[in-house]
Each structure stands twice: as C-alpha cells, then as structure tokens.
Amino acid sequence: MSIRPLTLVEYIGQEEVKKQVRVLIDSAKKRVESLDHIILAGPPGLGKTTLATVIATEMGSQIKVTSAPVIEKKGDIVGLLTSLKDGDILFIDEIHRLSPAFEEILYPAMEDFKLDIIIGGGVGKKRYSKAITLDLSRFTLIGATTRIGMLSDPLLSRFGVILTLDYYTEGELSEIVKRVAQIMAVEIEEEACMEIARHSRGTPRIANKILKRVYDFSLSHNRERIDTDTVRQALRLFSIKDYGIDSLMLKYLRILVESFHGGPIGLTTLCSALNEDRKTIEEVIEPFLLRMGFIKKTKVGRVAQGKAFEFLSNFRDT
C-alpha cells in the first residue's frame, strides 16, 4: 500500500513549486521533448523523491531511482545512463555526495547526451586503450539535495531548473494526514489531524510517522476512531514534545542549556556530548531548532536562545 501521491493534483503543498512544474511539463509536452534537468533542493522529508515520481507520472515517463552514495564505480553510472530510453527520468538522491569523477561522466551526458568512455586491455608493452563516444537517449536528470551549497559549480550550472521545497504549514500537513488516513482506512477527527500536524515540524515524513504511531496506539487500546485525546496520549507515550521536539532534540537542548549554560558550544563538543556524528546534528537536529529560534549559530559555537530556556522551563514544570 503506497501513500505517495502520483499526480500534481494529489500532491499537497508546495504550491509555487507545483505551478513551475506544471509549466515545465506543459511546455515539454507541446515541444514533444524531454524536460530540462532539474534540481530539487530542501530539507529531508519534504517530498523530493515523491515530486520526482509525480513529474515522471505527469510526463508519462519511466523513472529510475538511485542514490549518490550507492554509486561506487564508474560502471554503475555508465550502466544507468546507457539503460535509459528517450524521455526517461534518472533520479539521483543526495546528488551532492556524488564524487567528482562521476560528475565528469555526467557533464557530456547532460549537455550533449553523449558518453565518453575509455576501453583498454593487454599487459605490458602490448597494453592499449581507446576512447569511444556513445550516443545516449534524451533523458532528464533530476537530482535531489539537502545541501545545495555542496554541489560543485560545474554540475549545478548544467541543471536548467532549480526548485526549492520549503517546510509545510500546519494546514497542509493536516490535509496530508487526512489523505494518508483515508488510504490506511483509519477513522480520524479533523482536530486530531491538526494535532498531529502541530507536532510534525513542518515535515510530511514526520507527520506520516506520527500518524502510524498514533494508529498503533489506537489499535492497542481498542479505539475505533482517533480523536485529539488519543493523539495526545500517543504523543506522550512516544516522547514527542511540544513543537514536535523528539528525544534527540530534547537531549541537545538540555546539553546546551543545562550542561553548558546556554553556550556557546562548538560542534565537536556537541558531537561528543550527544554521541552523534556531525551530519546527524547539522542535518537532522539543528535545522528545525534554528528555524524555530531555539538556537543560533555563531563564530564561536551554538548559543541557546530565550525560547529554548522557556521551553525547558515549561517542560520541567509539566
């Protein structure tokens, strides 16, 4: 059972991005050409992979999905490119993690739909090599990234379109929860959907996870319909706090506020105190805390803001 939307009509939120995508698709269809190459940028969980699938469906194209970290040798990316047919879409997630050597292969493929490869064999003095150029089908590359600043300029310049996804409103998340609940055949009240949305940090992936945990709770307690009280009890059980702050974020704030008196504290020290790697802190924990004004990044380290002190004070009171 897939909860992913398949069309732009079903895709909730990101209205400005959808308008741009609709124009691109309509134009490409009228020209009877493939779409220009597209970058989808934004924080994790906002629907970049889903949007790529929607674009493929709207274009009537086949999509091949991969991720930059799993591309380990040149043969992997050569095999992907040569397997594409006219109009196909190649989706590369976390494209900012693609190695420079693999980027070099993509440049002529994206610009001229050609692939330059070197074949060779033999040993010693009899060793030979030969450069050949293969013609590729006219495909569309869609790359997804959570860190667009890490993309090299030569690669980024070869994308004709950059679409940036933003966090969702509570109303949009409530609609997403309602839609997914219908797919799951779960009865849920409107206010319960909104309560889940309030704790989802503007992210559909989190909203869907919370809905599933609330559903687990309702089944375990023999509740036929999910109401606000059921949601709140489930949130307490699974340690999801106000604003959607989870246990890892709570630990981060406590270390910053209580152990280091609000900071400043360096990232290396935070990694050691949390026993987490830099990527988890920078890409999972901090983006929401920064957006909500709980913390601030300075030249000398992370500093807690008044909202963080207030949140922890209220949390202790309850």
C-alpha span between 302 and 263 (Å, rounded): 6
What pLDDT, in 10s, does the model give residues 85-112? 999 999 999 999 888 888 888 888 898 8
Query: Do residues 224 and 264 both lie within one domain?
Result: no
CATH code where residue 211 lies = 1.10.8.60
Query: Do residues 261 and 305 both lie within one domain?
Result: yes
231-255 average pLDDT score? 85
Identified catalytic residue from 205, 209, 251, 254 = 205
Active site includes 205? yes
Query: Do residues 36 and 62 both lie within one domain?
Result: yes
Quote the pLDDT of residue 134.
82
Answer yes or no: is 141 within a domain: yes
Q: Each residue of 28-44: b (16+ CB within 10 Å) or e?
A: beeeeebbebbbbbbbe
Domain boundary among 184, 207, 240: 240
Which residues lie closer than 8 Å to 4 by C-beta, 6 or more apart?
Answer: 50, 53
Identified catalytic residue from 48, 178, 201, 302 = 48
Active site includes 164? no
Quote the pLDDT of residue 2.
74
Query: Do residues 157 and 19 both lie within one domain?
Result: yes
- What is the span of the domain harbouring residue 176? 170-240
Active site includes 66? no
C-alpha span between 124 and 145 (Å, rounded): 44
Length of the chain: 318
Structure-block tokens of residue 173: 């998340």
Query: Do residues 40 and 160 both lie within one domain?
Result: yes
Q: Which residue has the higher pLDDT, 130 or 203?
A: 203
C-alpha span between 287 and 5 (Å, rounded): 26
101-130 average pLDDT score? 74
CATH code where residue 257 lies = 1.10.10.10
Q: Which residue has the higher pLDDT, 54 or 118?
A: 54
210-231 average pLDDT score? 92
3-22 average pLDDT score? 92
178, 209 contact by CB (below 8 A): no
Q: Provide, rounded to the nearest whole percent, the portion of the chain with pLDDT above 70.
A: 94
Q: Which residues partner with 161 through β-bridges?
A: 38
Query: Do residues 96 and 224 both lie within one domain?
Result: no
Query: Do residues 22 and 136 both lie within one domain?
Result: yes
Identified catalytic residue from 53, 145, 146, 230 = 146
Answer yes or no: is 200 within a domain: yes
291, 255 contact by CB (below 8 A): no
What pLDDT, in 10s, does the model give residues 179-217? 999 999 999 999 999 999 999 988 999 999 999 999 999
Active site includes 48? yes
Q: Which residue has the higher pLDDT, 51 or 277?
A: 51
Number of domains making up the chain:
3
Highest-pLDDT range among 68-82, 116-130, 201-215: 201-215
Query: Do residues 52 and 139 both lie within one domain?
Result: yes
Active site includes 280? no
Confidence check: pLDDT of 259 > 90: no
DSSP code, position 45: T
Identified catalytic residue from 93, 201, 203, 230 = 93
Identified catalytic residue from 4, 18, 36, 49 = 49
Answer yes or no: is 193 within a domain: yes
Confidence check: pLDDT of 316 > 90: no
